Amino acid sequence: MADDSGEPGWYEGVDPDDAGRVRTQIEEGTTDEPRDWPGLAVESGFTADEDDYYDRLHEATTAATREAAREAGRADDQQLKHSIRAMDDADRLANELAERAVEWGESLFDGVPGGLDGARALADRDPATPAAERAVSLAAEATRLAAEATALRAHVERTAPAVAPNLAEMAGPVLAARLIALAGGLEPLAKKPSGTVQVLGAEDALFAHLDGRAPSPKHGVIFAHEAVRGTRPEDRGSAARALAGKLAIAARVDHYSGERRPSVHEDLRERLATIRARADDEGAGGGG
């Protein structure tokens, strides 16, 4: 028995000859529960029989997916660059605004905790004066911005593996996106030597150092990777070099082939195990 209660399939309300519309439906449609689409399509009169349905589905999916893959391959590293930069900006601004709002709020209310938690608490207060009204409103703004940063992070985590599967698997999606953004895209990253990959992102620290605000930088953003941070300080240089080397390879595989290559990840794992075994060897020798 056909029922009209469920969500629609891809073919619903579509003129099969309207290729653009078919593609939009395939790509952007969503439904929680799958249904017997071939059966329902025949019942609804979309196609004469099941064979005809599958013929149309084949035509629709190959055309839509070919087009979608072409488009995604073109633009995605640039989209990722915008996403990660927006995420960092939203994070930074949310924290700055929260700090400002909390500092203000502390002069008006009792018991305001620090940071974004403070801003969230403050945003729920009842302002009694025009000044308090502004402080509370500013705290609410900081809270909204923090939520946007979280949404942007989720977006990066979803899209980075599509743009650079190996790099995202090795570095994690956020660090992968950061490397791509710092290099200006996947192709420029794929063309950088591993020594450059190792210090990408150290530019800010370098300028801070030149301004006299920080010590000289020794590593770039890859320092955020567990392979580096989780290695004892005297072996971090080796770990950073090993990681940078494999990340450079991962970026090249992603740019030139786009397929996952398990061997790169296994090579890195083995190399890191060797580096970390040094600490175990010395520990076992009683060297401390």
Is 209 among the residues that bind other proteins (CB under 8 A)? no
Question: For residues 152 and 117, what is the distance between their CA atoms, to the nearest angstrom?
Answer: 20
Give Cα 87 distance to the centre of its chain: 9
- Secondary structure of residue 108 in the 3-state scheme: coil
Interface with other proteins (CB under 8 A), residue from 2, 18, 21, 54:
54
DSSP label at residue 221: G
Question: In the complex, what is the shortest distance from the CB of residue 2 to other proteins, in angstroms, rounded to a whole number?
Answer: 14
Is 207 among the residues that bind other proteins (CB under 8 A)? no
Give Cα 171 distance to the centre of its chain: 11
Question: In the complex, what is the shortest distance from the CB of residue 278 to other proteins, in angstroms, rounded to a whole number?
Answer: 16
Query: Radius of gyration over alpha carbons of the chain, in Å?
Result: 26
Interface with other proteins (CB under 8 A), residue from 16, 73, 114, 195:
73
Question: In the complex, what is the shortest distance from the CB of residue 125 to other proteins, in angstroms, rounded to a whole number?
Answer: 39
Interface with other proteins (CB under 8 A), residue from 16, 18, 49, 58:
58
> Candidates 64-72, 90-98, 100-108, 233-241 — which segment interacts with other proteins by CB under 8 A?
64-72
Question: In the complex, what is the shortest distance from the CB of residue 120 to other proteins, in angstroms, rounded to a whole number?
Answer: 29
Question: For residues 257 and 238, what is the distance between their CA atoms, to the nearest angstrom?
Answer: 28
Interface with other proteins (CB under 8 A), residue from 2, 18, 62, 92:
62
Tell me which long-range contacts 192-195 makes (C-beta under 8 A, separation of at least 24). 192/248, 192/251, 193/248, 194/241, 194/244, 194/245, 194/247, 194/248, 195/244
User: What phi and psi values does residue 232 have, to the nearest 5 degrees?
Assistant: -65, 150
Other Cβ atoms within 10 Å of 200 Cβ, number = 21
Question: In the complex, what is the shortest distance from the CB of residue 40 to other proteins, in angstroms, rounded to a whole number?
Answer: 9
Is 82 among the residues that bind other proteins (CB under 8 A)? no
Q: Which stretches of the chain are DSSP H helices?
A: 19-28, 37-43, 50-106, 115-123, 130-163, 165-171, 173-183, 186-190, 194-199, 203-210, 226-229, 236-256, 262-284
Interface with other proteins (CB under 8 A), residue from 158, 218, 229, 232:
158
Cβ proximity to other proteins, 173 vs 201, nearer residue = 173
Is 232 among the residues that bind other proteins (CB under 8 A)? no
> Candidates 80-88, 215-223, 239-247, 264-272 — which segment interacts with other proteins by CB under 8 A?
264-272
> Candidates 103-111, 161-169, 206-214, 244-252 — which segment interacts with other proteins by CB under 8 A?
161-169
Residues 6+ apart with CB under 8 A from 246: 170, 264, 265, 267, 268, 271
Is 72 among the residues that bind other proteins (CB under 8 A)? yes
Residues that bind other proteins (CB under 8 A): 7-10, 25-27, 29-38, 54-55, 57-58, 61-62, 65-66, 68-70, 72-73, 76, 158, 161-162, 165, 169, 257-260, 262, 265-266, 268-269, 273
